[in-house]
Amino acid sequence: MIGTRPRVAAIVAAMAGASLVACATRGSVPSPAPHVAPAPAGSLHTAIEARLASPALAGAAVAIHIESLDDHRVIYSHAADARMMPASVLKLVTAAVAADRLGWTHSFDTRLEAAGPIVDGVLRGDLIVIGSGDPTIDAQDLRTAPLFDEWADALRAAGITRVDGRLIGDDSAFADERLGAGWAWDYLTAAYAAPSGALSYNGNLVAVQIAPAADVGAPALVTLQPPGHGLALHNVVVTAAPGTTPTIAIERWPGSHTLTVRGQVPHGSAPQVRATTVANPTDFFVDGLRLALAARGIRVRDGAVDIDDLTSPPTPGPRREIARRSSVPLSSLVAQMLKTSQNFYAEMLIKAIGRTAADSGGVGSTERGRQLIRQTLERWGIGTDALVMYDGSGLSRYDYVSARLLTDVLKTMWQDNRYRGSFAAALPVAGHDGTLGARMTDTLRRRVQAKTGTIANVRSLAGYMETAAGERLVFAMLANHFVAPNADVDRIMEGILGEVDLAGTTGTTGERWGP
């Protein structure tokens, strides 16, 4: 079992402790339900078309592709090659190519190095932190990162009790592009739109705690954690009468460090907690580390700085490695990303993919990652005409993908023993965990492993399913441009899987893929 680390996003979204279930072989799932007599061939098509005729999908675009993993039959296909906005099912593509380009055992290192001599406990030069894109360095209980305390101990063990220089954050492993193309300006303070960078901390999120004051009408008490966030607080929250409905709005203009918190909280109520994003991930990291070192009695004379903002180069000469932190392997990172649909992880991974290019110069970028993803899919024999990819997470509304491409990626992962176990284990399991924990809890419970996707007017679901008759299927379903509640679209998609399950998959097109 692998659990997600405590983090602000997890506290706010209540996503802690996602467990993994590996279903790469038949024996790893519960025994199939009793056999249901298959429906006539035409009945399945008719049943699915009836569900697609629901008023909830009026004016919507829908694409579906369902195939058998056992004998390569196409069970049902509708607009399978249409370009559709994918939302978070795009993470399946990012995860698959990361497994290929980086390998499931890959981990991300973050190094602490001393530049200059150490004389009588004083480092006469700069202290440098070098990141490579680790997304898992987190704060604990909304305070400082345990790693920072460990590094304070490592500095003392190295004989350093003071730094007569700067604490420099070296984030040059990634291009300086924090946000994705096509992300909307009005949600950039939301936890799901956290910026990315080679040196990142706590998911680049800050917890905003809003507590009522002692008197009605007085300004509420607003605090920001963990330290080092660099945000200037503008508090416009008032303490309202007891029983009043709390209303909280958080605003920060792109490029600004001023965070405005508006609204009201009822007198006598428990504190409200929200999460918001930082402006500069590297500054957040090194200033948080500087403050943690100061709390442990290690002072950095010349402050903390992003390497991009240096006015003079780092201290020349050889460096001494003081400490190194390695992340958990990629297999665990991908599980955390897919189980909870973690956008931040996906944006870090697409840059890490880009960094593997021979001509990258050791710098990862989203653009180079996009290029390598296309090249990898083509090497796998997957056509990329339907792929338009502007980020790694699917948050961008510039992204497009087809249902057929998604099933082709899923089939590639399934057919290759190097990928299948860890990839299948990383997917949410219906009625059990992740974003499917509360869905399909009845007949399809634990028989569907799939990635969900949601942005405004987009809902998607793609993954694997085992039917009541014991047949394994791969599927992708995407809906765009609907205005009905998401739950209505979910019911239609889940109902389609239920129809396939009951039909025993005999109602097929006759089309086949593979040998």
Query: pTM of the entire structure?
Result: 0.89
Give the pLDDT confidence of 53-67 residue by residue, as tens digits: 999 999 999 999 999
Q: With 60 as the cut, is the pLDDT of residue 1 above it?
A: no
Is residue 389 within 8 A of residue 398, CB to CB? The reply is no
pLDDT, position 42: 67
Q: What is the DSSP letter of 394?
A: S
146: Cα separation from own chain's centroid: 22
- Residue 172's contacts (CB-CB under 8 Å, 6 or more residues apart) are 198, 307, 363
pLDDT, position 504: 74
- Residue 88's contacts (CB-CB under 8 Å, 6 or more residues apart) are 341, 343, 393, 394, 395, 451, 452, 453, 454, 455, 460
Give the pLDDT confidence of 135-191 residue by residue, as tens digits: 999 987 767 789 999 999 999 999 999 999 999 999 999 999 999 999 999 899 999
pLDDT, position 505: 53
Give the pLDDT confidence of 91-133 residue by residue, as tens digits: 999 999 999 999 999 999 999 999 999 999 999 999 999 999 9
Task: From 99, 112, 91, select the one nearest 329 (Cα to Cα).
Answer: 99
Residue 381, token pair as written in the block:
């024999």
pLDDT, position 31: 29
Is residue 473 within 8 A of residue 464, CB to CB? The reply is yes
Domains of the chain in sequence order: 8-25+38-105+329-503 (3.40.710.10), 109-326 (no CATH)
Q: Rounded distance, CA 452 to CA 440, Å?
A: 13
Confidence of residue 388 (pLDDT cuts 50, 70, 90): very high
Q: With 70 as the cut, is the pLDDT of residue 419 above it?
A: yes
Is residue 389 within 8 A of residue 402, CB to CB? The reply is no
Q: Rounded distance, CA 468 to CA 292, Å?
A: 55
pLDDT, position 398: 97
